[in-house]
């Protein structure tokens, strides 16, 4: 970010236009560490800015949806389901079993459905290689995204009377499930890389950072 861009960003912040700053190309370059080290920001914000940029490219301007998608890599980073999927299991079966076992039509079931949707989007977006290895190939990633949409629709239906705002968010996320997945997939390349657990991928990420700097 040059002096002029820095001055403009400061003026926008002083005016309360935080979103204008976060949506700027300079902010995207800063969090991705292009031209230097990545900016020292909270992990959620480091994911939010590139995800927001990817969603805008796909015509999704809903800031709340960008915020929702950016929380997924942070919230589910310690998910115990990662062990099961790493061992080749189908995560959807496990998650649906848990949702279906809860009392029908309850807020608890709605929350579980929303969590299952988030997990499915996170896995399909950030670790598609593991999803494919645990199922029948590339079709599994699409199945995870479809599953996420269905779980979000279920959560919206169950929350419609008790929590209409949350229900509305679930509906919007379900409708934008393909774009949310694509944004996560693009953002993860910068932070995680393709097939992130291979030695080749780790080396390529290291070399890319050297080249950028």
Residue pLDDT, tens place only, 140-187: 999 999 999 999 999 999 999 999 999 999 999 999 999 999 999 998
pLDDT of residue 68: 93
Q: Supply the pTM of this predicted model.
A: 0.76
Per the CB < 8 A criterion, the answer to whether 153 and 37 are in contact is: no
Which one, of 27, 49, 76, 65, lies nearest residue 191 by Cα?
Answer: 49
Where helices occur in 58-138 by DSSP H, the ranges are 63-75, 81-86, 91-101, 107-126, 128-133
Taking the C-alpha atoms of residue 146 and residue 59, their distance in angstroms, rounded to an integer, is 20
pLDDT of residue 133: 76
Q: Residues of the chain with pLDDT > 70: what percent?
A: 67
Residue pLDDT, tens place only, 27-82: 777 777 665 555 566 777 788 888 988 999 999 999 999 989 988 988 876 655 55
**Which pLDDT band holds residue 8 (cuts at 50, 70, 90)?**
low
The neighbour count for residue 192, using CB atoms within 10 Å, is 15
pLDDT of residue 195: 52
The neighbour count for residue 210, using CB atoms within 10 Å, is 8
Taking the C-alpha atoms of residue 153 and residue 194, their distance in angstroms, rounded to an integer, is 30
Taking the C-alpha atoms of residue 133 and residue 44, their distance in angstroms, rounded to an integer, is 28
**Which pLDDT band holds residue 135 (cuts at 50, 70, 90)?**
low
**Which pLDDT band holds residue 100 (cuts at 50, 70, 90)?**
very high
The neighbour count for residue 23, using CB atoms within 10 Å, is 17
Cα Rg of the chain, angstroms: 18
Q: In a 3-state reduction of DSSP, which class is residue 89?
A: coil
Q: DSSP letter for 102, please.
A: S
């Amino acid at each position: 970010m040059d002096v002029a861009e820095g001055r403009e960003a400061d003026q926008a912040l002083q005016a309360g236009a935080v979103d204008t700053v976060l949506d700027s190309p300079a902010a995207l370059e800063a969090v991705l560490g292009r031209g230097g080290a990545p900016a020292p920001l909270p992990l959620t914000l480091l994911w939010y800015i590139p995800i927001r940029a990817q969603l805008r490219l796909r015509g999704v301007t809903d800031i709340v949806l960008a915020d929702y998608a950016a929380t997924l890599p942070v919230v589910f980073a310690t998910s115990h389901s990662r062990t099961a999927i790493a061992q080749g299991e189908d995560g959807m079966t496990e998650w649906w079993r848990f949702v279906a076992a809860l009392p029908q039509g309850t807020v608890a079931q709605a929350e579980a459905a929303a969590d299952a949707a988030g997990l499915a989007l996170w896995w399909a977006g950030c670790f598609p290689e593991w999803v494919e290895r645990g199922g029948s190939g590339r079709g599994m990633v699409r199945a995870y995204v479809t599953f996420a949409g269905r779980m979000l629709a279920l959560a919206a239906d169950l929350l419609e009377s008790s929590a209409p705002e949350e229900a509305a968010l679930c509906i919007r996320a379900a409708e934008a499930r393909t774009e949310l997945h694509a944004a996560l997939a693009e953002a993860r390349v910068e932070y995680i890389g393709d097939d992130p657990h291979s030695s080749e991928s780790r080396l390529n990420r290291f070399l890319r950072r050297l080249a950028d700097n």
